Amino acid sequence: MNEDQNLQELFQPIRDEISAGEKLRKAFHQQSDRQNRGTHRLKLALAGGAFGVTTIAVALALLLPSTSAAATFARIESAIADAKAMHIRSFVERPDSPKHLASELFYSKGAWRVDAFPGTKFARTYIHVGTDQWTYEAYTDVAVKEPYAGEWPNDKMTALEFAKEDSDEGRISSPRIFKVEARQNEGDRPVYAVIATRADTPYHLEMVVDKNTNLPIRSIYWGETPTDTHYQVISKEYSFNEKVDASAFSPAIKSTTKLLNLPAEADSLRTAWSAPLKSVQAGGTYADIRDLEVNRQGEVFIACSVGKRTNPRDPAFPQNLVPDELTDDLGRTYFLVETIRPGGVFGDTRARDYMKFGEDDVVFTEWAPLDPTTPWDPATSFDVHLVARTWMGSPTFSDQSISASVLIPAPDPIPNRFPEYSSGLLLDDVHLLFEVSASERRGAHFDEKHDYAEAAKWYRDAATHAKSIGWVKRYEKMAAKSLSQLNKKTEDGTPKLH
């Protein structure tokens, strides 16, 4: 498993719960050349999904093959577009996790607020009001105010187009099939249901709609079978045209809150990193190593500005010359934990747009020693081996023929676990999982070496660090799998290696 896959899998539970903003950003680019087909007063509210949070449209469907069904959805869309306010609560339930609140969205008079990941270290609030947008991360007590980016799907996509992406869960293959069902009244309120399925997958969507208003009341859907590792049930509760307190759209900034000006943070780093530590060229591409830092645990953080080149095997993914292997002068080996860009995993702000050197993006590679020891004996120099590869993707494509190696003197250890720029470039959400990810990577390494006892030890270590985010079972299962491999014996009593 490469580090990109590792990072993606670590964040998958959270991505699933908040309906993966990457999917919606992709939809935006696919739709950006379409003509805007109408102005909806609730379009601003739909922007929440582009931040990686679930939104009102999750239960709505794409334009339907059935004329009657299409007319029904047109009425629902029109009703939503006319709503002056709304409140949505989104819940997720899995076989190994009870039903819990995943996000909450409020909209009123052109302003919206989303509270995502409540009750976790990733809890954060997004607010868009007027020309400003705010992001507040509760665990780190960091707030960012920026001009509204104005480039999310709400500016280019209708509610139905947005919903098409947001509710298309599970294995997406055949078109969805829709039907409208009559239902018994709920109290004095007449309702009907909209059902969506696929002929060849377990996908199922059911939305209950108020017959008098054509506004959704609640929805529930899943995309996989209960035995699938990605199986989850997503349910939503909707209310419309109820008063939302105006204070909900004013960020509750505390006296302790660190207010970040991302352009200023980026300018400061550009000044500090104006002279590269090393400039490297290979195969028509290049990288400038801007910074290398190491902490007292022997974990290493490298910042590079990279010149993109098109991957000849996949023009959609540029290749960059980035660090791919790391050793030190004492002969110790490090493994790549993460490859990331500024702005955090969730793409909450425009940090990555601010942190550029000309047209070059900044990419961070983060490393941990394969064999950590305490105390860590400082190195004198690091040997950085760079390879042309996609910085993101699963699996990562690399061209090993385009490579270079450079020696960089080891700096004095930094006083804290992570570099000072961690908060300023919104990398804290990644660093919350650094120990978990590092331990999992070590476990995977020893699994590949058939050292199953050592692999199980590191998976258990990952489980220990994952307690605060509730992913313990994932790593307990991985440890158990390694131990089951260890316990398989050949006839002569020696451990099986395969």
List the domain boundaries for the chain: 17-259, 261-432
Instruction: Name the pLDDT band for 490 (thresholds 50, 70, 90).
Output: very low
pLDDT at residue 167 above 50?
yes
Q: pLDDT tens digits for 284-299?
A: 899 999 999 999 999 9
Beta bridge partners of 279: 288
Q: Which residue has the tokens 């869309």?
A: 77
Laid out side by side, the sheet with 216-222 consists of: 177-182, 191-197, 204-210, 216-222, 233-240, 85-94, 97-108, 111-116, 124-129, 132-137, 142-147, 258-260
Nearest-angstrom CA–CA distance, 263 and 463 = 37
For the beta carbon of residue 343, count every other beta carbon within 10 angstroms: 20
Instruction: Name the pLDDT band for 304 (thresholds 50, 70, 90).
Output: very high
Read off φ and ψ for residue 24, nearest 5 degrees.
-75, -35
- Give me the pLDDT at residue 34, please: 30
Instruction: Name the pLDDT band for 171 (thresholds 50, 70, 90).
Output: low
Instruction: Give the strand pairing for 142-147 and 132-137.
Output: antiparallel
- Runs of H (alpha helix) within 49-116: 67-82
Q: Fold identical between 17-259 and 261-432? A: no
Percentage of the chain surpassing pLDDT 90? 35
Read off φ and ψ for residue 9, nearest 5 degrees.
-70, -35
- Which among 23, 324, 285, 259 has a CA at the least distance from the CA of 153? 23
What class is the 261-432 domain?
Answer: mainly beta
- Give me the pLDDT at residue 70, please: 64
- Give me the pLDDT at residue 491, please: 42
Which stretch of 60-74, 392-406, 425-439 has the lowest confidence by average pLDDT? Answer: 60-74
pLDDT at residue 357 above 80?
yes
pLDDT at residue 58 above 90?
no
- Give me the pLDDT at residue 14, please: 44
Q: Are 140 and 428 in contact (CB under 8 A)?
A: yes
pTM above 0.85, yes or no: no
Percentage of the chain surpassing pLDDT 70? 77
**Which of 26-35, 39-48, 395-404 has maximum average pLDDT?**
395-404
Q: pLDDT tens digits for 184-216?
A: 999 999 999 888 888 888 989 898 988 988 888
- Give me the pLDDT at residue 164, please: 53
- Region 413-421: mean pLDDT is 95
pLDDT at residue 128 above 60?
yes
Domain made up of 17-259: CATH architecture: Clam (2.50)
Beta bridge partners of 188: none
Nearest-angstrom CA–CA distance, 356 and 45 = 30
